[in-house]
Amino acid sequence: MPKLFEPLSLARGRAMSNRFMLAPLTNSQSHADGTISDDEFDWLTYQAEGGFGLVMTCAAHVQRVGQGFPGQLGVFSDALLPGLTRLARGIRAQGALSSVQLHHAGIRAPAKLIGGAPRGPPDDAQTGAMALSEVEIEQLIDDFVAAAVRCEKAGFDGVEIHGAHGYILCVGPLDENSCCQLS
Ligand SMILES: Cc1cc2nc3c(=O)[nH]c(=O)nc-3n(C[C@H](O)[C@H](O)[C@H](O)COP(=O)(O)O)c2cc1C
């Protein structure tokens, strides 16, 4: 598989130095306010140092109410920019491309974590989630866009949009055999 070690050029920006990409992995190392911790910075920059052509962050929430896990990295506010900028620089300094996975847990956001009922799109009896109004849907779209712009400002090479597992962009019925179960 010699091609794995060859550079890969993209439509925009720098080329990847090889075709190895670190998958988004929820590492639960951020501070409670969504800022990156030193441990998380070290984990992700070690992956870049280890030779990945692209390093992706864990799922990072674009709204406070979209937090799905304790210790999740946030991208919902400009107050998070210094930590995000440090991370983008740290990954770049090791020669890898960097990407942030944009996420909103929707009805799977634990009420205890977000301090209230989770948000739809639909009402959900199982989780107590409330449906989004049209205005809130517009706000959600704007917040995904704002998070992407924030990541670019921080110096990341790209973003990935998380659309799976019953999170806000692909909500579906949760059943006991589904990977969408709340834990
Ligand atoms: C601990 C752990 C955390 C994960 N976190 C995320 C995540 O934040 N976002 C995501 O899209 N996938 C997440 N995944 C899924 C992985 O990115 C990957 O798609 C999955 O593990 C399948 O790849 P594999 O067969 O190489 O393990 C996670 C997987 C594991 C094991």
How many residues can be counted in the chain?
Answer: 183
Grade residue 1 by pLDDT with cuts at 50, 70 and 90: confident
Taking residue 114's Cβ as centre, other Cβ atoms within 10 Å add up to: 18
Domains in the chain: how many in total? 1
Atom 30 of ligand 1 has which residue's CA nearest to it?
Answer: 25
Atom 23 of ligand 1 has which residue's CA nearest to it?
Answer: 23
User: Is residue 117, in this structure, part of any structural domain at all?
Assistant: yes
Q: Read off the pLDDT of each residue in 147-159 and give the average, rounded to a whole number.
A: 98
Ligand 1: residues with CB < 6 A are 23-26, 58-59, 101, 162
User: Is residue 179, in this structure, part of any structural domain at all?
Assistant: no
**DSSP label at residue 4:** G
For 149, half-sphere exposure in the C-beta direction (CA atoms, 13 angstrom radius) is: 8
Closest to 149 measured CA to CA, from 100, 105, 103, 182: 100
User: Is residue 176, in this structure, part of any structural domain at all?
Assistant: no
- Residues 22 and 67: their CA atoms lie apart, in Å, by 22
180: pLDDT strictly greater than 50: no
> What's the CATH code of the domain at 27?
3.20.20.70
What's the CA-to-centroid distance between 58 and ligand 1, angstroms?
A: 9
The tens digit of pLDDT for each residue in 31-44 reads 999 999 999 999 99
Determine whether 4 is exposed, middle or buried from the number of CB atoms within 10 Å of its CB (0-12, 13-18, 19+): exposed
User: Is residue 70, in this structure, part of any structural domain at all?
Assistant: yes
For 2, half-sphere exposure in the C-beta direction (CA atoms, 13 angstrom radius) is: 0
Mutating to test ligand 1, I would choose from 21, 22, 26 the residue with most ligand atoms within 8 A of its C-beta, which is 26
- Residues 66 and 49: their CA atoms lie apart, in Å, by 31
Percent of the chain past pLDDT 90, that is, above it, reads: 87
Atom 24 of ligand 1 has which residue's CA nearest to it?
Answer: 23
Grade residue 2 by pLDDT with cuts at 50, 70 and 90: confident
**DSSP label at residue 14:** P
Q: Read off the pLDDT of each residue in 123-135 and give the average, rounded to a whole number.
A: 93
The tens digit of pLDDT for each residue in 3-14 reads 999 999 999 999
What's the CA-to-centroid distance between 26 and ligand 1, angstroms?
A: 7
For residue 64, the enclosing domain spans 2-170
- Asked if 113 contacts 135 with a C-beta cutoff of 8 angstroms, the reply is no
Beta strands 97-103; 54-61: pairing state: parallel
What's the CA-to-centroid distance between 46 and ligand 1, angstroms?
A: 18
Q: Read off the pLDDT of each residue in 87-111 and give the average, rounded to a whole number.
A: 97
User: Is residue 49, in this structure, part of any structural domain at all?
Assistant: yes
Closest to 120 measured CA to CA, from 167, 161, 163: 167
172: pLDDT strictly greater than 90: no
Q: Which residues neighbour 30 within 8 Å (Cβ) at sequence distance 6 or greater? A: 36, 37, 40, 71, 72, 73, 74
What's the CA-to-centroid distance between 23 and ligand 1, angstroms?
A: 6
